[in-house]
Amino acid sequence: MNTWDNIERLVSSEGNVEKFVFSTDNAVAESVLYRYPTYDVRTVICCSTQSGCPVGCRFCGAGDNFARNLTTEEIVSQSVYLLDLIEKEHGVTDIENLQIMFMSMGEPMLNQKRLVEAIEQLHEKYPHAALLVSTSGPNVSYDAFFDVAQRIDTVGLQFSVHESTDQARDELIPFKRKLTLEQIAQRGERFHELTSRPPFFNYCVHEGNDTAEDVKRLAKLFNPDIWRATISVICERDETMKAAHDRQRELTSAFSAKMDEAGFTTRVFNPAGQDDIGGGCGQLHYVQEWMRNNPDKVRPSVGHNLPIIHAS
Ligand code: SF4
């Protein structure tokens, strides 16, 4: 493949999850490949849409620096490379449940034109793949995305909500040009109206946002008849997703039960196999190192000088 000059591969000790770091002289991207429990039963790929990220979420290793938008080819090539690899190494050509998620490094809606082109190309190549976009909700037009979501019925949408008030969310996600929670609720309902598919919201639970009041606020904003909820945990920049999950397992199940009671259909994010290869987006040391070594190719993101938020 000529799209990337270099590809690094990291395999978890359990072998269920692998991370890949793709780089050229002026950009770095990362993808994660999961099998549940085997590639032919269920394969999940998380791919990047930007190199670094301008949004600056305080828990995210990609949030300090932004290099550039990835090209359509660079976005598509990550999934193609991984699917070719599992065909070559495991002989898997027919996957029962294939999900490609635009939720590794970068904010997909800030690279929407290329995101849409990537969705179209990936759908043509893998017509049965679920193509899921996870966004922090920048305040831009979502028309191009809504258009492709209407044409391709395997396209899904998830918002990273993480907090039940705008004030708390502002601390976590300092990017100014973002939708309020109420505006996110409206965009999700619009997606539902146009596609008849449920939008999801992701909520990172911690000891400061797990009360009945939080659930009440969420249920008021996000109609449980329309929305589905994903419950996960905040992963520190220097810990693995699995370590964060183990640390806060009780918290997530207790909160998930409260959400169920409020009428939500919830799923708890399962970090299966993420034992020793870095947690969420941009947490690979290689990516961090690439950013440090290429100061002339990156610019600081909005939250660069703000303190890192640690899960309580
Ligand atoms: S969590 Fe996503 S949107 Fe936030 S800084 Fe990281 S990559 Fe960007």
Place of tokens 């939008």: 199
CA distance 204 to 220: 18
pLDDT number for residue 308: 47
Tens-level pLDDT at each residue, the chain (312 residues): 579 999 999 877 777 889 899 999 999 999 999 998 999 999 999 999 999 999 988 888 787 789 999 999 999 999 999 999 999 999 999 999 999 999 989 999 999 999 999 999 999 999 999 999 999 999 999 999 999 999 999 999 999 999 999 999 999 898 999 999 999 999 999 999 999 999 999 998 988 999 999 999 999 999 999 999 999 876 655 556 666 666 677 888 899 999 999 999 998 876 654 545 554 555 666 777 888 888 888 887 765 555 444 433
Mutation test residue for ligand 1: of 48, 49, 50, 57, the one with most atoms within 8 Å of CB: 57
Which residue has its alpha carbon closest to ligand 1 atom 4? 57
pLDDT number for residue 64: 78
Mutation test residue for ligand 1: of 28, 58, 107, 112, the one with most atoms within 8 Å of CB: 107
Neighbours of 77 (CB within 10 A): 22
pLDDT number for residue 138: 96
Within 196-308, residue ranges assigned H as helices are 212-221, 241-247, 249-261, 285-293
CA distance 278 to 119: 27
Separation of CA 93 and ligand 1 centre (Å) = 32
CA distance 266 to 181: 19
Phi, psi (deg, nearest 5) at residue 68 = -170, 170
What DSSP element (H or E) covers 43?
strand 42-47
pTM of the model: 0.91
Separation of CA 57 and ligand 1 centre (Å) = 5
Mutation test residue for ligand 1: of 32, 46, 53, the one with most atoms within 8 Å of CB: 53
Which residue ranges have their beta carbon within 6 Å of ligand 1?
A: 53, 55-57, 60, 62-63, 105-107, 136, 281-282
Separation of CA 70 and ligand 1 centre (Å) = 15
Task: Provide the token pair at 117.
Answer: 């082109």
Separation of CA 308 and ligand 1 centre (Å) = 13
Separation of CA 261 and ligand 1 centre (Å) = 30
Separation of CA 47 and ligand 1 centre (Å) = 12
Q: What is the residue type of 247? A: R
